[in-house]
Amino acid sequence: MENRRWIIKVILMSITASVVFTLVSDKVIGNAGYAAAFIVLFIFVLLGIIFDIVGVAVTSAAEAPFHSMAAHRERGAAEAIRLIKNANKVSSICNDVVGDIAGIVSGTTAALIAGRLSTSFTASEILMQIIVSAAVTGATIGGKAAGKMLAMSQTTAIILRVGKIISFVPKKHKER
């Protein structure tokens, strides 16, 4: 039963994130010049890479170092422990929900940019699509490959940084 709830929750998060990313992309790209359009595209690619790094790091992190940090009240250590204890869900959100959606939206954004470039420069639309698509694909795959190496070698530091960021988010307290 809990697995079904999780799957439904992930589906709903995916739909919501997809709608938000697509609306942001459409709104910015629709009225923006090429520089802003490429910045939005770069942000989506970077977002996918960063969340992929976190997803890989959390699945390979050891909990032990964070217990020592938590005992010394280091900011983010307790949050890091929660991340590691929920590594399957964290990895699913980071790699699948955010990472995959960022990849899909960056592809759509790249296609929009290629279409605009082909009309502005009277170039072949297919040629522009190939050039922009190849550049985005290379940046995404290369960035994720480098990110995975980083995630595997700097697991503790990455998860601690994420824990520190999370520690600034106000916590919901359950009322009794």
Dihedral angle computed from the Cα positions of residues 131, 133, 135 and 136, in that order, rounded to the nearest 10 degrees: 160
Residues 6+ apart with CB under 8 A from 41: 106, 109, 110, 113, 136
Q: What is the pLDDT of residue 119?
A: 76
Q: What is the pLDDT of residue 122?
A: 67
Q: What is the pLDDT of residue 173?
A: 55
Rounded to the nearest 5 percent, the helix, strand and coil shares of the chain are: 85, 0, 15
Would you put residue 156 in left (φ > 0), alpha (ψ -120 to 50) or beta?
Answer: alpha
Q: What is the pLDDT of residue 174?
A: 44
Q: For the ranges 34-48, 75-89, 102-116, 148-162, which has the lowest average pLDDT? A: 102-116
Q: Answer with the residue of higher pLDDT: 59 or 125.
A: 59
